Structure 1
Amino acid sequence: MKRVAALGLDVGRKRMGVAGCDGTGLIATGLTTIYRTSFAEDIKKIQDIVREREVEILVVGLPYTLDGNIGSQAKQVQKFANKISQILKLPLEYVDERLTSVEAEARLKASKKFSTRDKGAIDRQAAAIILQQWLDRRRSEEKVISNK
C-alpha cells in the first residue's frame, strides 16, 4: 500500500485548522491551529508542517453556500489555497466543508473535550473531518478501480 501524506486545512479569516493523517491514509487527526497574522507567517507555519510531515498533497475545505454555490468566502479560500499550493509546489484538492464546524463542535461536546472559548479546537476537528472525508472518498474510488 502506498504511503499517504496529506495535510487538511480548514481556512478561516482568524484561524486555520490543520489536520494530518497516518501513513496508511485511514485516520485523520487534528494537528494544530494556526492563528492567522500575515500571509507570510501563515505560509511559514504551513511550510514547517509540510516539511516535518513530508506532505505530498493539500486538502482544503471549500465553504460552499448552503444551496451549493461558491460564495465570497469560498472564493477567498480558493485564492489563498491556490497561492499556498503554488508556493509549496503541492497539488491541491478541495472538499465540501459545509457544516463541518457544526459536526466538529458536536463531536467535541460528545467526547467532553469542548470549551466554547476554544475555537481553535473546533477548527482542528473541522480540518480532521475535511481530511477524513477526502481519505474515505479516495479509498472508495480506489476500491472501485481495483474491482474493475
Structure 2
Amino acid sequence: MREGYDGGMTDISDQSANTGESSADHFPQSGRLAAVDYGTVRIGIAICDPDRILASPYEVYPASGPSKDAAYFKTLVKEERVSGFVVGLPIHCDGGESQKSRECRTFARWLFEQTGVPVRLFDERFSTSAAKQRLSGGGLTRGRKKQRLDAVAALVLLESFLESSRYHGAIPGQSIHDQTDGGDSLSDDDN
C-alpha cells in the first residue's frame, strides 16, 4: 500500500452502518464518470460523456504521492465535471482478492475522502489484456503502446461498467464500504 492513502482516514464503513446510506454510497444516475485504473506508478484514466454513451481514454497520470495526487483529482473533478468515479478492482479468476485488491479498495476510499465524489469499485478482470489487444493493431511503437496502456485499460473498465449499468438497469460494482466478498485467492499465502 502506498504511504498516505490510508493515513488519517476514518473508518467510513462504521459511519455507513450508523447513518444508513452515506454520500459515498449514493452513486449518480447521470453525469460524467471517470474510470481509474489504479497503479502505484501510473494511473490510467478514462472519461465518458454526461449521457454515458461514449467513453474515451483521458490520460495516464504519473502517480506522485498523496498530496499531489489529491490536487490532481480535485482539478480533474472540477475541470471535467466528474460526477462519479469507477475504480478498477483486480479480482483473481477464482473470485479471490489479493494485496493489490486491498490497495485499490484503500485508494478508492481515499479518492472519495479527497474529492467528495462518489466512488464505485468494479471488477477489472482482463481489462489490461483487452487493452493490449486493442493497442496491438494500432501501428503504435512499443513505447507509445506502453504509454497508452493504462488509459486504454481504464477505457475498457468504463465501457464494461456502462454496459453493465444498461444491461442490469442498476449501478453495478461495489460500494467503497463493502468488505472483501471474494474468498482468499489460491495464490495468496495468507494461510
Unaligned runs of 5+ in 1: 144-148
C-alpha distance in 2 between matches for 1:134 and 1:32: 18
The match for 2:103 among 68, 76, 79 is 76
Q: 1:18-29 residue pairs with structure 2 within 5 A?
A: 18-29=45-56
Q: Which runs of 4+ in 1 moved over 4 A?
A: none
1:66-99 residue CA offsets vs partner (Å, 9 max, x unmatched): 3211110010011011111122111111111112
Aligned-partner Cα distance in 1 for 2:169–2:138: 32
Select the structure with the greater relative contact order (CA < 8 A; seq sep ≥ 6): 1
Q: How does 1:32-111 map to 2 (within 5 A)?
A: 32-111=59-138
User: Counterpart of 1:146?
Assistant: none
User: What's the TM-score, normalizing by structure 2?
Assistant: 0.69
Aligned to 1:116: 142
User: Deviation of residue 3 (structure 1)?
Assistant: 4.3
Give me the CA root mean square deviation. Answer: 1.6
The alignment of Structure 1 onto Structure 2 pairs a total of residues equal to 141
CA distance in 1, matches of 2:108, 2:169: 26
| Cα distance in 1 between the residues matched to 2:64 and 2:50 | 31
Distance 1:66 1:141 in 2: 22
Partner Cα distance (2:135, 2:127) in 1 = 12
Q: 1:60 corresponds to which letter in structure 2?
A: V
Residues in 2 aligned to 1:50 and 1:87: alpha-carbon distance in whole angstroms: 11
The answer to whether the 8 Å contact 1:10/1:18 transfers is: yes
In percent, how many aligned pairs have the same letter? 25
Distance of 2:122 and 2:99 partners within structure 1: 17
Report if the CA contact (8 A) 1:61-1:97 is conserved. Answer: yes
| Aligned twin of 2:37 | 10
**Comparing both structures, which one devotes a greater share of its residues to helix?**
1
Q: Looking at CA atoms only, which structure, 1 or 2, has the larger radius of gyration?
A: 2
**1:11-31 deviations in Å (ceiling 9; x for gaps):** 011100011001220121100
